[in-house]
Structure 1
Amino acid sequence: MKQQLQRFRVRSVCAVVSMVFAAHAAWAVEPFTVRDIRVEGLQRVEPGTIFASLPFRVGETYSDDKGAAAIRALFALGLFKDVRLEVSGEVLVVIVEERPTVAAVEFVGNKEFDKDLLQKALRDIGLTEGRPYDKALTDRAEQELKRQYVNRSLYAAQVVTTVTPIERNRVNLTFTVSEGEPARIKEIRMVGNKAFSESTLRDLFDLDTGNWLSWYTKSDRYSRAKLNADLETLRSYYLARGYMEFRIDSTQVAISPDKQDISITVNLTEGERFVVSAVRLEGNYLGKDEEFKSLVKIRPGQPYNADEVSETTKAFTDYFGKFGFAFARVEARPEIDRGSNRVALVLQAEPSRRAYVRRLNISGNNRTRDEVVRREFRQMESSWYDGDKIRLSRDRVDRLGFFTEVNVETQEVPSAPDQVDLNVGVVEKPTGSVTLGAGFSSAEKVALSFGIKQENAFGSGNYLSAEVNTSKYNRTIALSTTDPYFTRDGISRTFDAYHRTSKPYEDQGGNYTLATSGLGLKFGVPFSETDTVYFGGSLERTQIKPGTNIPAAYLAYADEFGYSSTTVPLTIGWSRDDRDSALVPNSGRFQRLITEWGVGGDARYLRANYQFQQYIPLNKQFTLAFNTELGWGKGLGGRPFPIFKNFYSGGLGSVRGFEQSTLGPRDVTGSFIGGPKKITLNGEIITPFPGAGNDRTLRLFGFADVGSVFGEHETVSADALRASVGVGISWISPLGPLRFAYAQPVRKFAGDRIQKLQFQIGTSF
């Protein structure tokens, strides 16, 4: 190598790198051994990042090909705006110009989306504080933001990005949004329908042209996902009524030039209506043909119904799974007679092979321990595949309330045709909460609440809580902890410590209270998948604290048995719950029986409370609901039933239309003191609120209530029952279940306190 200095410089512009190195004759450098490598121009990037990307090291031979590869590798890092290589003797100099770093990302003019949500969306595509600025990434972010606004029917939304350079080679990014007005659906048309009117078909859609409640439901805002769901509803409607060749030919969505109005046109072909002539079973049914026939939902002589066909094939597949045939195939093959518009359905079954479950794999539980999920599974490893147990297991995991999604997938084991793995994927949700809030009801006025809850403490599945509630009539301080698997068999254990003060709602301004403090221990024993029996006991102390306007019945009880009472109540309870939802049930049944036996202390008594609820879906929109609650109490050991254990009735949760807790016995002062016997009967017809589509979180209901409370020496008589009818609204609000009810008493007596309009948070029935 000559001693004179050679200079080699390559201007690296990505589009011309290959051409620069192609001009080898003009820029070529004879290969040489690199004695040293220097890096110039670094500000924030570590030199090690450069050295790790170079395809050569000190002591190795440098060539033009390696130089081109070095430039490509450095540009691929995405950290540099310019890269140059210079050769000085046997020293290679790497000169870089770093991209500016994003110092801050701000949004101006956004109202539809929360700022934090937008920043998270940009963070997911790599545009966030501390990352190198990339113009292509910024353009992509603009398009993504526009797409998000289009999904909200804001077609006129504009996004402008401003890049502001600041000191130390940094930039501030500002996305200025002009949202405009949302585009609204002005017309939905059906073309090709003959059997059903256009209005009937439009009523199937969640999308509509708007009504007085659209500000809440946003049903007049176009969404491709919602339209696809509505089209599937339309298809199902026809297929369930015999039109087995129904098809949607096309869907046109047109937007006005000002991007404010949207028209939707659905072109469809109904086809002929077919009636089922016969149903036949073909294939291998494991010698259990009669059992499979009992699962057939398809009815010959009735119009073809795709829902019944789907239910039947699914029932067959599930039944095969019960015997371990995880890969069973069931096909409903139609044999169409177009001359008579009749169709015979052939149910072809092939059970394939029986399978064992080799392994249960759990994923997605970053915080929750595997044990918490595994102990809910009834399908065991190394056991026959059982579809019923797998579905039950999935439901049990879902009912834990720790996950937003629970999916179970069956995966074949390679080289083992008789084995499968079950892959359980979960998506965790936050299970801890700190709440501070205020509520208001027509009965209790202002109530403040504070609570700390952790439903999945430390990922163990245990429950911990501390609650404080204040209201005009009921105040509570309570601590509770539950171990749902105190034993391996699933017996739960609950510790409770509480202090409650209460008084009747109608105290006429009095300031007396009933104060109850206690410690309790309870065990829950599962006897089946839906039945649990509870055993427990506690130590309670109740004090009657006298004050102004204290009812005479309380004074009489206190004068005879004292103002304080200590008791040891034992609790035995049972519950069965197979409802499809605890908040907005549509089907299923709930039953609960709680008995309390005061076996020690100053108060001896028996107290029982039974509740029964039944939900019957009448169709897609209407649900019939019934509620029955019966209470009974009796004093033991020659003593009367403790007055502070009385039941109350009237108001929300019992007989609406009457003031809270004002039904039943009164003492000589006219105060309502409740009683040891209670009966409540409620019936409701529930439907989504008009204009809210099929949104079940906002519902309208009509109701009829019957009930009352009776004294210890009174006979329960239908003649003494009060009754009311009315309408109401229930809403699953951010504060909890909220119910408004307007009731008209249809059976009342002189002296009854009437309150036609009532509302409360957290009340059912």
Structure 2
Amino acid sequence: MTRRPTRRLIALALAAALSVPAFAQEVEPFQVSDVRVDGLQRISAGTVFTYLPIERGDTVNQSNAADAIRALYKTGFFEDVRLSREGSILVVNVVERPAINKIEMKGNKDIKEDDLRKGLKEIGLEEGDTFDRMSLDRVTQELTRQYNNRGKYNVEINPVVTQLDRNRVNVAINVKEGKAAKIRHINVIGNELFTDKELMDNWESRQTGWLSWYKRDDQYSKERLSGDLEKLQSYYLDRGYIDADVTPDNTQVAISPNKRDLYITAGLTEGEQYKVSTVTVSGDTVLPHEDIEKQIKLFVAPDKVFSRRGLEAANESVAAALSNIGYAFASVNPVPNVDRASRTVALDFQVNPGPRVNVRRVVFDGNTRTADNVLRREMRQMEGSWYSQAAIDRSKIRLQQLGFFEEVKIESKPVPGTQDQVDLAVSVKETNSGTINFGVGYSQLGGIQLNGSLSERNFMGSGNQLSVALARSSYQKQASFQFLNPYFSKNGMSLGYNVYWSEFDYSNYNTAQYNTSEGAANVTLGIPLTEWDSINWSLGYSRKQVSIFRGSTPQSIVDYIDAVGTRTFNAWRTSVSFARDTRDNYLQPTRGTYQRLGLEVTLPNSTVSYYILDYQLSKFFPLSDKLVLNTVANIGYGNSYGKTYTRTLSDGRVVTAKGMPFYENFYAGGVSQAGRVRGFVDNTLGPTDFSSFGYNQPIGGSIKTIGSLELFFPKLIDSPAARVSAFLDFGNVFADRSSIKASELRASAGVAMMWRSPMGPISISYAIPVRKFPGDRIERLQFSFAGQF
């Protein structure tokens, strides 16, 4: 049962006030020979003696008795304190306040329990502490205030206290949050230069709209509105209106009688526009004075409109330039001199470089699997060298590009006792870097995949890549071994080996009906050119056995085999590629570009001579903190060179083997990266051919043109392991250059989700073809997954 705390406190106060006069009237002042404390349960007598201002040998009178009672009440330990006398013994009678055994919260959804408990602790309500009934009133007021700030004005806070044995209590705080009030209208008053839409374009608070059920941007929040008013102030300051007045005092929030609807009115005064009159630099610039001044004038320059954003950018630019040469704590303080008569601002940038800082140590944390040296070799900020923010930023990107970590943080920590040294704390959160499959895997292209494979991009934490696979699906049997050491040499050269054998049934791969059996081996060498650029070279040998089915295999493939005169194709091949990677993250990039241009050529003594050119582009644009645009292009071209096979068959037909071999053709359609046009069945776009039995089958082509525009929503799902996107895919493959027609391109639009789940990567997409032709095979929902570790 809950008691009204106010009446109880009044009673306690009266008891305390009346106890001293009664004590003083009944007993004359006396000298204390001893002090006894009665009524203690949990609190020790020593604690009472610590706070009691009367000791053995003191004389008790009305004044110091009142002081003693007040001192004990002030501790917060007691509900009641009385003094009495037994002879020359002073008796202190106390009633302890109960201890809080447990605090329970029910009904809170909008505010997390950890946040609530933190607030209760600040008020003085925590498990194990002494219970003060006055704190219940403070709890009700504080929680009501917090919910009101979140737009919930119908909230009900009902604290219930349950008495337990041994002078303990349980406190239950029951919350009925109610519905949040919705913003029905926002009105800006006083704006003549800009429209309401322009001013509120980047506000978080919005009027109720058709997406508000998801975004919840129509729910009022005091903190959110304060942030929006700051954005409004910044909007004017960035355009030179330094006298613009946008303050909470000019803003009114009206609520409807039922506390369900809110109406916001923001008033402002625009003022006049100011320009920059002069830009000067003072202080110890370290770098040449004219260079600093030139750098500042890239952002704020004389006769240009004043902009606070430009001012901040100039500050950051100069501070960054100094931090790159060791001045980690450099500061730039712009001092404005406003001339309101001429409506101009003179700016003096005062530069304070601070001490030049040396990095003492680089310490890694969170890499439980990955060895320190794997992280250290990616660091561009070295121990014992001058601090460089550019080197630190580049180090962070290189660590992110490894793909081993969900999160990378680098903090500078001053070394105690020095002003010119810092330690770098590199904190990482490891993610799954390998894939393991044992009978786990499914795709719509290959169906259930029975396989056993191990693929690890960070083998035993060494940073080496290892893959061993034994796979079997409806279209493939494969055994392979791959190994890559990305730091074969200290300067970053990589060396890799690849050996594999496979049997491939193309008829179950949505392509022409023929089979191949192949064994191959190659070696690869990677050479870094710059921080972003590299060249890769490979040399290998393969032996491919092709099986065709006369009557079922497309005639063009049968003719190619007959012209060459063999079904066994030996190939010595070499390839060279150039790659440039400026992406900020391997797993979920938000900015930067990946480009790769490759050439593969078969060498002399190969059965057929051909080459393949391939170009890939993926460029990420951060449109905002909530949107990232990825533009993708994938272009491929292949052709033969040198000898051409021509043969006259027994039926008199002349067949010729020219162009890129059919088994190297490009395919498009489906979810595979090589030919991604989602919404169409895998590998079914492009040229087709009939067999002698009349079966029309996809045969691929020697030219591939694939593109995509994909808009990612990084914050739509609050997980670094998941990403949602909306996309537009387009492309096709063509038989040769003469058959390229833009009118033949297919296109689809849809949504997709990629999730690195604990079971493995899961990819799901739903696409609707927006440009299709009769005979195209449509598959709107497409997905695949595999096990991961």
Q: Tell me: CA distance 1:242–1:128, structure 2 relative to 1, closer, same or farther (3 Å).
A: closer
Verify: 1:554 aligned to 2:556, yes or no: no
Out of 680, 684, 691, the position equivalent to 1:662 is 684
Out of 653, 660, 667, the position equivalent to 1:648 is 667
Q: Tell me: CA distance 1:310–1:131, structure 2 relative to 1, closer, same or farther (3 Å).
A: closer
Verify: 1:684 aligned to 2:686, yes or no: no
Verify: 1:245 aligned to 2:243, yes or no: yes
Residues of 1 paired with 2:206 and 2:33: CA distance?
73
Q: CA deviation at 1:149?
A: 3.2
Structure 1 residues 151-205: Cα deviation after superposition (integer angstroms, max 9, x where no partner):
4422211021233446777655443332222101122121221110223212331
Residue of structure 2 equivalent to 1:268: 268
Which secondary structure does the structure 1 equivalent of 2:486 belong to? strand
Q: CA deviation at 1:208?
A: 0.9
After superposition, residues 333-482 of structure 1 pair within 5 angstroms as: 333-334=335-336, 336=338, 338=340, 341-358=343-360, 377-393=379-395, 406=409, 408-409=411-412, 411=414, 419-422=420-423, 424=425, 455=432, 463=433, 466=436, 468-474=440-446, 475=449, 478-482=453-457
> In the alignment, residue 464 of structure 2 is paired with which amino acid?
R
Which secondary structure does the structure 1 equivalent of 2:264 belong to? strand
Q: CA deviation at 1:651?
A: 3.7
Q: CA deviation at 1:560?
A: 4.8
Structure 1 residues 292-336: Cα deviation after superposition (integer angstroms, max 9, x where no partner):
355333355542232222212211111122232344343334455
Residues of 2 paired with 1:166 and 1:294: CA distance?
74
Which secondary structure does the structure 1 equivalent of 2:770 belong to? strand
Verify: 1:105 aligned to 2:98, yes or no: no
Which secondary structure does the structure 2 equivalent of 1:230 belong to? helix
Residues of 2 paired with 1:397 and 1:422: CA distance?
18
Out of 476, 479, 487, the position equivalent to 1:514 is 476
Q: CA deviation at 1:218?
A: 0.4
CA contact (8 A) 1:359 1:420 kept: no
> In the alignment, residue 387 of structure 2 is paired with which amino acid?
Y
**Which one is further off, 292-301 or 228-237?**
292-301
Residues of 2 paired with 1:552 and 1:385: CA distance?
60
Out of 31, 55, 71, the position equivalent to 2:33 is 31
> In the alignment, residue 195 of structure 2 is paired with which amino acid?
S
Q: TM-score, normalised by structure 1?
A: 0.68
Which secondary structure does the structure 2 equivalent of 1:628 belong to? strand
**Which one is further off, 307-316 or 358-367?**
358-367
The CA RMSD measured in Å over matched residues stands at 6.0
Q: Tell me: CA distance 1:537–1:201, structure 2 relative to 1, closer, same or farther (3 Å).
A: same
Q: TM-score, normalised by structure 2?
A: 0.66
Residue of structure 1 equivalent to 2:292: 292
Which secondary structure does the structure 2 equivalent of 1:388 belong to? helix
Out of 322, 325, 344, the position equivalent to 2:324 is 322
Residues of 2 paired with 1:645 and 1:567: CA distance?
12
Q: CA deviation at 1:403?
A: 7.7
Residue of structure 2 equivalent to 1:312: 314
Q: Tell me: CA distance 1:645–1:621, structure 2 relative to 1, closer, same or farther (3 Å).
A: same
Residues of 2 paired with 1:73 and 1:402: CA distance?
57
Q: Tell me: CA distance 1:187–1:542, structure 2 relative to 1, closer, same or farther (3 Å).
A: same
Residues of 2 paired with 1:137 and 1:370: CA distance?
51
Residue of structure 1 equivalent to 2:538: none
CA contact (8 A) 1:541 1:565 kept: no
CA contact (8 A) 2:545 2:569 kept: no
Out of 591, 615, 626, the position equivalent to 2:620 is 615
Residue of structure 2 equivalent to 1:628: 633
> In the alignment, residue 524 of structure 1 is paired with which amino acid?
P
Residues of 2 paired with 1:215 and 1:350: CA distance?
50
Structure 1 residues 271-307: Cα deviation after superposition (integer angstroms, max 9, x where no partner):
2123345544455444624543553333555422322
Which secondary structure does the structure 2 equivalent of 1:269 belong to? coil
Residue of structure 1 equivalent to 2:652: none
Residues of 2 paired with 1:576 and 1:526: CA distance?
20
**Which one is further off, 262-271 or 650-659?**
650-659
Unaligned runs of at least 5 residues, structure 1: 1-11, 432-453, 456-462, 503-511
Residue of structure 1 equivalent to 2:464: 493
> In the alignment, residue 684 of structure 1 is paired with which amino acid?
L
Residue of structure 2 equivalent to 1:208: 206
Residues of 2 paired with 1:64 and 1:373: CA distance?
71
Q: Rg larger in 1 or in 2?
A: 2
Which secondary structure does the structure 1 equivalent of 2:669 belong to? coil
Q: Tell me: CA distance 1:30–1:573, structure 2 relative to 1, closer, same or farther (3 Å).
A: farther
Structure 1 residues 189-231: Cα deviation after superposition (integer angstroms, max 9, x where no partner):
2122111022321233121111111000001011223223322
Residues of 1 paired with 2:322 and 2:358: CA distance?
14
Residues of 2 paired with 1:424 and 1:122: CA distance?
34
CA contact (8 A) 1:193 1:269 kept: yes
Structure 1 residues 253-282: Cα deviation after superposition (integer angstroms, max 9, x where no partner):
333332212222222222212334554445
Residue of structure 2 equivalent to 1:745: 771
CA contact (8 A) 2:764 2:781 kept: no
CA contact (8 A) 1:740 1:758 kept: yes
Q: Tell me: CA distance 1:140–1:380, structure 2 relative to 1, closer, same or farther (3 Å).
A: farther
Unaligned runs of at least 5 residues, structure 2: 1-10, 519-543, 549-567, 646-656
> In the alignment, residue 298 of structure 1 is paired with which amino acid?
V
Q: CA deviation at 1:377?
A: 5.0
Which secondary structure does the structure 2 equivalent of 1:247 belong to? coil
Out of 180, 183, 186, the position equivalent to 1:185 is 183
Q: Tell me: CA distance 1:411–1:609, structure 2 relative to 1, closer, same or farther (3 Å).
A: same
Residues of 1 paired with 2:634 and 2:304: CA distance?
42
CA contact (8 A) 1:622 1:685 kept: no
Residues of 2 paired with 1:598 and 1:500: CA distance?
28
Residues of 2 paired with 1:565 and 1:65: CA distance?
115
> In the alignment, residue 590 of structure 1 is paired with which amino acid?
Y
Residue of structure 1 equivalent to 2:740: 718
> In the alignment, residue 740 of structure 2 is paired with which amino acid?
A
Q: Percent identity?
A: 28
CA contact (8 A) 1:583 1:737 kept: no
**Which one is further off, 241-250 or 125-134?**
125-134
Out of 571, 579, 583, the position equivalent to 2:583 is 579
> In the alignment, residue 252 of structure 2 is paired with which amino acid?
Q
Residue of structure 2 equivalent to 1:226: 224
CA contact (8 A) 1:84 1:96 kept: no
Q: Tell me: CA distance 1:331–1:141, structure 2 relative to 1, closer, same or farther (3 Å).
A: closer
Residues of 2 paired with 1:392 and 1:588: CA distance?
13
Q: CA deviation at 1:129?
A: 7.3
**Which one is further off, 344-353 or 12-21?**
12-21
CA contact (8 A) 2:731 2:747 kept: no
Structure 1 residues 74-94: Cα deviation after superposition (integer angstroms, max 9, x where no partner):
999988877999999999999
